[in-house]
Amino acid sequence: MRNDNTVTSASTALLTDQYELTMISAALRDKTAERQCCFEVFARRLPEGRRYGVVAGTQRAIDAIADFRFGPAELDVVSGILDPDTLAWLADYRFTGSIDGYREGELYFPGSPILTVRGTFAEAVVLETLILSVLNHDSAIAGAAARMVSAAGGRPIIEMGSRRTHEFAAVAASRAAYLAGLSSTSNLEAAREYGIPTAGTSAHAFTLLHTTADGPDEKAAFAAQIDALGVSTTLLVDTYDITQGVRNAIEVAGPGLGGVRIDSGELGVLARQVRHQLDDLGAHGTKIVVSGDLDEYAIAALRAEPVDTYGVGTSLVTGSGAPTSGMVYKLVEVDGIPVTKRAAHKETPGGAKAAVRTRRSTGTIVEEIIYPADSAAPDTNGLSATPLQIPLMRDGEPVADIPSLADAREHLAQALVSLPWEGLGLSHGEPAIPTRYVMSQGNTR
Residues 279-298 that bind its own copies (CB under 8 A): none
Interface residues for its own copies in 235-264 (CB under 8 A)? Answer: 238-242, 245, 264
Residue 106 CB, shortest distance to its own copies, in Å, is 19
Residue 46 is given by DSSP the state: P
Kindly tell me which of 160 and 177 has the beta carbon lying closer to its own copies. Answer: 160
Kindly tell me which of 279 and 347 has the beta carbon lying closer to its own copies. Answer: 347
Closest CA to 117 of 188, 39, 13: 39
Kindly tell me which of 98 and 325 has the beta carbon lying closer to its own copies. Answer: 325
Cβ proximity of 53 and 143 under 8 Å: yes
- 79: phi then psi, degrees, rounded to nearest 5: -65, -25
Cβ proximity of 132 and 83 under 8 Å: no
Residue 52 CB, shortest distance to its own copies, in Å, is 20
Interface residues for its own copies in 415-444 (CB under 8 A)? Answer: none
208 binds its own copies (CB under 8 A): yes
Helix (H) or strand (E) holding 119: strand 115-120
Q: How far apart are the first and last CA of the chain?
A: 52
Chain-centroid distance of CA 315 in Å reads 13
Q: What is the rounded distance in angstroms from the CA atom of residue 327 to the CA atom of residue 46?
A: 9
Count other Cβ atoms within 10 Å, centred on residue 78.
19
Interface residues for its own copies in 2-21 (CB under 8 A)? Answer: 2-12, 14-21
Residue 67 is given by DSSP the state: T
x/- binding map, residues 124-163, to its own copies, per CB under 8 A?
-x--xxx-xxx-xx----------------------x-xx
Bridge partners of 338, per DSSP, are: 333
317 binds its own copies (CB under 8 A): yes
Interface residues for its own copies in 161-190 (CB under 8 A)? Answer: 162-172, 175, 186-189
Q: Which stretch binds its own copies (CB under 8 A): 318-326, 364-372, 379-387, 407-415?
A: 318-326
Residue 212 CB, shortest distance to its own copies, in Å, is 7
Q: Which stretch binds its own copies (CB under 8 A): 77-85, 107-115, 301-309, 431-439?
A: 77-85
324 binds its own copies (CB under 8 A): yes
Interstrand relation of 53-54 and 98-102 (parallel, antiparallel or unpaired):
unpaired
Interface residues for its own copies in 387-416 (CB under 8 A)? Answer: 404-405
Residues with Cβ within 8 Å of residue 427, at least 6 apart in sequence: 49
Cβ proximity of 369 and 376 under 8 Å: no
225 binds its own copies (CB under 8 A): yes
